[in-house]
Chains A and B, each alone.
Chain A
Amino acid sequence: MATPHTAKDFESGHFPTWCPGCGNFGIWTALKQALVELNVEPHRTVLVFGIGCSGNETNFVKAYIFHSLHGRSLPVAEGIALANSGLTTIAIGGDGDGYGEGMAHFIHTIRANPNITYIVHDNQVYSLTKGQSSPTSEHGFKTPSTPFGNPDNPINPISLALTVGAGFVARGFVGDTTQLTALIKAAIRHRGFSLVDVFQPCVTFNATNTFKWFYGKVVKLETLKHDPTNRDAAWKMAQHPDKLPLGVFYQQEKPTLEDGFTVIAKKPLVEQSPERRQIVALLEKMK
């Protein structure tokens, strides 16, 4: 039985460099709390970050950390999951990093269904680069790169994940860290790829999608009597005309990527020795 941890065990000691009031504080809190409640040990946890304000969490959290390139947290996390299925592997991205640069990996990692959790800091703007529009920004959003209004239409990460066939799709909001903690726990527990898209208002660069704006729109899926085993219902909820539902949209276990490799059926790859390979039989076939 592992020694019970506290949130402090997951803190690096470096104070966050996020702006006061940043939505990221809520995700940081919820993530630490979820790991504590699940009794996951810091040395058996790998957090893989991309680049953005979300990526800066690299320095504030304590575990095995991999700070990857912009948009590339998912494929690194997939490699880690295949190499060592005994770890808790969590990938973290932002709406720009994950749904922009990393969109191809988002779609294909869902298809693969490796046993990892993906938490996306969704603030509908590129904050670290100082305020440009992102793949989840509203059409018409005015920013330094789109001063006459964003010409693109936003993606809907929830319906996109459902379309590609994700087995766990959830959305949270930093204004309700209790719910967010529960969502992250459920996501980590889920066997397979789990998406937690988190509304996380950027107090510095997004004057449209503010905390106040969110409070007026969010509603819990439980309140709407949603059945998360019903994919069609989940799809409809994702497209809700005037509300932003929060909670687990859909959950269904299915074979994971790891299940497809007999090599790791009994033992994690990293625990298998690379020594003493015998290629005599292969050479025989070439004579």
Chain B
Amino acid sequence: MSTGEMFARACMRAGLNVFTYPEYPSLIRGGHNTVLVTASPCPVPANLEQVNMLVALNRESIDLHLAELSPRAAIIYDTTDRTFANFKPSSVKRRDLQVIGLPLEKFAVDVGGQKLMRNSVALGASCALLGIHPNDLTEVVRAMFGDKGEPIVALNAKILMAGYNAIAPAQRKQCTWKVKPVKKAGDRVLLTGNEALALGAIQAGCQFMSAYPMTPATSILHYLAAHGPDHGIVVRHAEDEIGAIHHAIGAAYAGVRAMTATSGGGFALMTEAVGLAAMTEVGVVIVDVQRPGPATSMPTWTEQGDLRQVLHAGQGDFPRIVLAPSSHQECFTMIQEAFNLAEQYQSPVIVLTDKYIAEGQRSVPVSDLKPVAISRGKIFAGAAGKKNDLFKRYDEKVADGVAPRALPGTPGALFVANSDEHDEFGYSNEDASNRVAQVERRAQKVATLRKKGVPPRFCGPKTAPLTVVTWGSSAGSVEAALQILDDEYKLQANAMVITMIAPFPIPAVTAALKAAGKTVIIEANRSGKLAGYIREQTGLSMDSAINRFDGRPFDPVELARQFAKLIKR
């Protein structure tokens, strides 16, 4: 995986925008593992299903990816890999391809490295073919391996250059795919959606994170476990997901900013606790990094299937907030908004992402990673009277539904955070009128937030014959498709990306749909979960839908083709 990252960083240093898409099976060793790096002077919000340069470390890689190879694509293959023992380049059924065999393992070992460093040799060779300057490469090596010491940096640089120098000038000339450096590209970082979210949590002032490992959320736990302690965060690997969510609830009740992160199956275990947070009015942030369901399904692939699970988790009626970042930059900013909303509305806030955005890297301008001002909501600082006085933590009379909370340890502010229905002090109460008053007050929080909520994100021209509705990581594929639609079909469409799922921005979405021409909804699940939810909230349906649920992201080229068909119909 790190070879892909090195290549991505080299392209980024050459001034290009990059997007990486890893594919791997749920195994520790073996299986077919790939990283697809897309680089362009234009923004790259998603990868295309095309390959211009294939590094094949085993024979089956050529067969598996042959259909994706673009005209005049190049293949670098490892002549020293035993699967290539009887391979002849002429057996590849495409005459336009540039097929180059190099003894990758031998080159690595000859300069003092190990056989498994062969992908770095291939990387060097790729860079030579693509016209990436060796300096950009060695700078990346220094940036990535610098803290491992000079000998490691030097060795990696040597291995890369062995590959680079193995390409003859004639071969370089033959390769028509070239990386043209862009000057003044600006200060950027390469990061995964999970890293963006974790960084955003640090920026947000997260103080406590408890989680249980689950693909594809685990790297959030790893990143915060490594860096959290330097930034005032207690990071707890919990015994299970139920422990994790309850740790976070306890910590938040005690007054610190707390979160957990998991995938759909782990969230399923946290269901009852979501209601506990709502009933005790403790603000916690719960991240669900979606993958295909149901049950174990395909752990290392992508899907947008948990919408209804998070909207309806927990028995009974209670307010909740659901956010769905639709870009790497939004992973950074929306997690900060999540912490604010959790504390302002004293409510569970669920942040939905998915494997495609969580594990893919994107180059993001540093200026896009803005801090969001911290807002901790209403806190009662205590009363001057007796230290063990009670206070009305769940005051029925608050107009916006949010009654000030008190942190344990505060004198004169005692109350009961009760999973039972309760009176204003929190004591268990089953009276009919009390029940109605408390349910109504909690529901009022949603009404209050709905007025202030986050409107959808719009992109493309203000009016267009087709409006594409989408959410989450599919937005990147849609944005890329809109660009292709314009460039190659000379047709226009615009997009509405829903980022606050609950409370749903009913007026904004209704207005947009009514003003739209043809509409189509793009989502990575079979049953059209967002489509059904929009219909439920607004009464409106989209004209058509494009759904993908094979675990892979949408192909912008195919989407553009479908959009063109819809417009021309």
Contact = CB atoms under 8 A, between A and B. Distances in A.
A105 B239 contact: yes
A223 interface: no
Interface in B19-66: none
A261 interface: yes
A75 B417 contact: no
Interface string A212-223: 000000000000
Given A42-B414, A68-B246, A262-B229, A83 B208 contact: yes
A200 interface: no
A84 B238 contact: no
A69 B273 contact: yes
A36 to B, nearest CB: 12
A279 B242 contact: no
Interface stretch (B247-255, B292-300, B348-356): B247-255
A59 interface: yes
A42 B387 CA distance: 8
B243 interface: yes
A84 B409 CA distance: 9
Interface string B255-288: 1111000000000000011001000100000000
A285 B424 CA distance: 50
A78 B9 CA distance: 42
B426 interface: yes
A225 interface: no
B400 to A, nearest CB: 23
Interface string A1-12: 000010001101
Contact of B199 (A51, A56, A83, A283): A283
B249 A67 contact: no
Contacts of B242: 72, 75, 104-105
A57 to B, nearest CB: 11
Interface in A173-231: none
Contact of A272 (B207, B238, B246, B426): B207
Contacts of B188: 287
A285 B387 CA distance: 49
B250 A66 contact: yes
Given A82-B208, A279-B203, A67 B388 contact: no
A286 B191 contact: yes
A275 to B, nearest CB: 6
Nearest to B275: A69
B449 interface: no
Contacts, number: 209
A72 B246 contact: yes
A65 interface: yes
B417 A65 contact: yes
A40 B411 CA distance: 13
Tier of interface size on chain A: 35 or more
B210 interface: yes
Contact of A270 (B206, B248, B255, B426): B255
Interface in A127-153: none
B171 interface: no
A277 interface: yes
A41 B390 CA distance: 14
Chain B interface, DSSP helix/strand/loop, else mixed: mixed
A22 interface: no
A254 interface: no
Contacts of A51: 419
Contacts of B418: 58, 65, 67
Contacts of A270: 254-256, 407, 409
Contact of B254 (A84, A263, A273): A84
A14 interface: yes
A8 B231 CA distance: 43
Nearest to B364: A286
25 contacts: A12-B390, A14-B427, A42-B388, A43-B412, A44-B409, A58-B427, A63-B388, A65-B416, A79-B246, A79-B247, A79-B251, A80-B250, A83-B208, A83-B258, A84-B254, A86-B409, A104-B240, A105-B246, A108-B240, A263-B233, A277-B204, A279-B202, A286-B189, A287-B12, A287-B188
Interface of A: 5, 9-10, 12, 14, 41-44, 46, 48, 51, 56, 58-59, 62-69, 72, 75-84, 86-87, 104-105, 107-108, 111, 261-264, 269-270, 272-275, 277, 279, 282-283, 285-287
Closest 10 CB pairs of A and B: A79-B250, A274-B205, A75-B246, A108-B239, A83-B254, A286-B189, A76-B250, A42-B388, A79-B247, A64-B408
Interface of B: 9, 12, 143, 187-191, 195, 199, 202-208, 210, 227-229, 231-234, 236, 238-240, 242-244, 246-258, 272-273, 276, 280, 366, 369, 371, 374, 387-388, 390, 407-420, 426-428
